[in-house]
Chains A and B, each alone.
Chain A
Amino acid sequence: MKNDNSLAQRVYVLIAVMGFWAIVIGARLFFLHVVHSADYRQRAERQQQRTLEVSPRRGVIYDRNGNELAVSVKVDSVFAVPDEIEDLHATAKTLSPLVGVSKNDLIEKLDSPRSFVWVKRKVSAAQGAALRKAKLPGIYFQKEDMRYYPKRELASHVLGYVDIDEKGLGGLEYRYNDSIRGEAGRVLIMTDARGRSFNSIEQPVAPGANLVTTIDQNIQYIVEKEIAATAEKTHAKGISIIVMDPRTGEVLAMGNYPTFNPNQYAKYSPQAWINRALSHNYEPGSTFKIVTAASVFEEGLADPAELIDCQNGVITVFGRVIHDWKRFGLLSVKQIMQNSSDVGAIKLALRLGDERFADHIARLGFGKSTNVDLPGEEHGLARPASRWTKSSVGSIAMGQEISVTALQTVRMVSAVANGGILYQPYVVKRVQHPEKGILSETEPHGERAISAETAAKLQDMLEAVVTDGTAKSSKLDGYTAAGKTGTAQKIDETGRYSATKYVASFAGFAPAVNPAISMIVMIDEPVGAHHGGDVAAPVFKRIAEQVLRYMSLPPDVPSYAPQYVVKEPKRPAERTVKPATTASAQLVGLNVTTDFGDLIIPDFHGKSLRQVTEECLRAGLRLQSIGSGAAVEQLPPAGTSVRSGARVQVRFSSRVER
């Protein structure tokens, strides 16, 4: 009986303990789940869920052949959670050399009541790796997009640049910012106790649209290379060159000096960021005589062959005495252009009168925007005829009292080159979205500014300027060209025309018949030689020759460069170097060195350009390659005996026909 009581007591004690334990647990659960529910839920969400804003991927900017000019890639940005930093000074000391920020600045940043502080945004890959290796408590990484311009200075004024938040600040980056920036996305990430993510809910990022420009990176490079050489030679204050397709208004290249690297734009003076080609107004000087002549021809007031008395190089226009650079007597209108006679140009303009002249100036696009798709364009200064003084007509005829931009001038020259259509210049061919396809495509848009007859007369006259006039130094090797030089005095601080500061320019096109390119070369304040024909025209020549060759345009005049030809052997039946196939016969008629010596030409068929180049270098042969892909033709044929240093022409192709 006693035992039974003892057992019962033990059971009751156990039940009481269990009950108490259950009550305690229940009470705790009640507090956790009911009383402090909201607080703990919030804390759990903070620990288990992370919401990340995903920055949109900025679109790529391509050149006309699909070469990337601006690309965004992810890089590390370093941030700190100040509460989690154990030793502020030690952390700052370790961080300082790794991120390139002074220790004091870091301490100031990190000693903050905020829960998030940027340490340094967009660090390099090496810096990121070093920081990760340091494993500093309270220091974290966030991936951010960074804009890269892989060709550095190439087309920097056209491309523009972006700030740290990827917002376009100049050039196409600014003009097309809304299209190429994209829309940000959000990701809700759930993590476990170890911080590993195991689930995420996404609001996807809308990527930005890509831009396909009209710029050709190789032509742009040729232009920039020549700008750098000219800047070094002339010590000019500024240089602008634009190459345009006169048949469409597409800008093939646009370069300026000074220039900048958009990857590090902050290191350059703001002056270097300016796209002078469309933001710099200047008095055009004699290049404007093209407009004077065009206006006169349009009104039927003169003919290229008509003789004009240039009055021994002196004329007085409403009290203003103007001297020619040479005492000219009777000159035809064509010769006035060839010799750039101011007196002749003024006499032609006087036939027009103010109103008609001003009207033609406006029709040729001066005094207003060209509506090019780039920011910062100046309109130039072409006053209405009502605001002209009596002598203005004379001044404007020779390119004074009027301001233009290089873009307006090349557009006008393009109109002359293409038969009279004034095209709207443009830089972006296509806005292409990676998911939605083509958003917009630019079609050439032009209006007739001068008649085809006037354009033909001007083409003929401008070609004569190059062949026999002031622009002989722009005569191309292998191609015809046409254009007009300009040497304009700048207005100095006193408001008068300076005797030392000039703008030298050349506006022209090539080839003279069926032109492929039009170009303006504008050199601001060259030191030393300052005539357009001396400093600007040779630049035009060098660029045009390279560009036309790059465009694979066959020469339209014989070249004056030394040529190597295969002389017909006396006994052709036995000794002619016969091409291997009919196809290679095309090469024989062309000028290829065929020597006879101790080297045997290897067989290049089917080999890559690299292999052929290496073999030629090893053998001491000079390679002239054409095309890309695998070698399909060669001249001299394999097995021919040649001397060291002989030229070998090899044609490559990726297209093989059976």
Chain B
Amino acid sequence: MPIEVQFEKRIINHHVVREADSKSLRDYVVVTMVAAMFLLGLFVYAWQHYEWIQYGYRIEEAQKNKEQLAEIGRQLRLERASLRDPRRIDAIARRDLGMMVPAPGQLVTFSADAPLTIPKPQPAQPIPPQQADLQPQPTALAAKR
């Protein structure tokens, strides 16, 4: 069996330094910068477009919201108008609250010029029942009739 002998050849090239190619470095930087700028521009454009669409959604949403609120307002006003129906109020006043139409003599008309004040409540002195006349008094016209 032949014996192969290999001799190790040591190459000492650690002191060999590649010559700096300043031109290609500059090209590399420029291309990188241009690419970065392009990507940045693309990114800004995409971001703007995305934001535009998002704002569009938000504006549409707000618009819809505004319309809905306005519509609710209108429906509430309609409901209020229905609740103010004189027929309904009359029925409640008579049926539920036991109110009745005052006779003309029971009307009190206040002058518009009279100052309105909130008087301080002062408890009145009760009068013994025997001193008060509790009977209804007919008016002169009613007596004549």
Contacts and interface: CB of A to CB of B under 8 A. Distances in A.
Contacts of A71: 74, 77-78, 81
Contacts of A587: 108
A452 interface: no
Q: Can you list the 10 inter-chain pairs with the closest CB atoms, starting with the nearest?
A: A478-B104, A639-B123, A581-B119, A198-B56, A221-B86, A559-B105, A561-B103, A567-B133, A150-B81, A68-B81
Given A68-B81, A198-B53, A479-B104, A657 B141 contact: no
B118 A549 contact: no
Contact of B142 (A549, A560, A636, A653): A560
A596 B128 contact: yes
Interface in A485-536: none
A330 interface: no
Given A221-B90, A591-B105, A656 B116 contact: yes
Contacts of A617: 97-98
A432 to B, nearest CB: 16
26 contacts: A71-B74, A150-B85, A154-B85, A199-B59, A225-B90, A552-B109, A555-B105, A560-B142, A561-B103, A565-B137, A569-B127, A575-B131, A577-B124, A580-B122, A581-B119, A581-B120, A583-B116, A583-B117, A596-B127, A597-B129, A605-B119, A627-B110, A632-B119, A637-B123, A643-B134, A658-B117
Given A563-B136, A596-B132, A632-B116, A68 B77 contact: yes
B138 to A, nearest CB: 6
B140 A558 contact: yes
Interface string A548-568: 110011110111111111010
Interface in A575-615: 575, 577-578, 580-581, 583-584, 586-587, 590-591, 594-597, 603, 605-606, 613
B139 A626 contact: no
Contacts of A72: 74
A7 to B, nearest CB: 25
Given A577-B127, A639-B124, A557 B81 contact: no
A564 B120 contact: no
A114 B99 CA distance: 60
A633 interface: yes
B60 A197 contact: yes
Contacts of B125: 574-575, 577-578
A638 B121 contact: yes
Given A559-B103, A559-B104, A586 B114 contact: yes
B60 A200 contact: yes
Nearest to B119: A581
A583 B119 CA distance: 8
Contacts of B63: 200
B81 A560 contact: no
Contact of A554 (B81, B107, B128): B107
Interface of B: 53, 56-57, 59-60, 63, 71, 74-75, 77-78, 80-82, 84-87, 90, 97-99, 101-110, 114-129, 131-134, 136-142, 145
Given A71-B81, A549-B104, A626 B116 contact: no
Interface of A: 67-69, 71-74, 148, 150-152, 154, 189-190, 192, 196-200, 217-218, 220-221, 225, 477-479, 545-546, 548-549, 552-555, 557-565, 567, 569-571, 574-575, 577-578, 580-581, 583-584, 586-587, 590-591, 594-597, 603, 605-606, 613, 617, 623-624, 626-627, 630, 632-633, 636-641, 643, 649, 651, 653, 655-658
Interface centre among A190, A217, A561, A580 (most CB of B within 10 A): A561
B106 A624 contact: yes
A560 B145 contact: yes
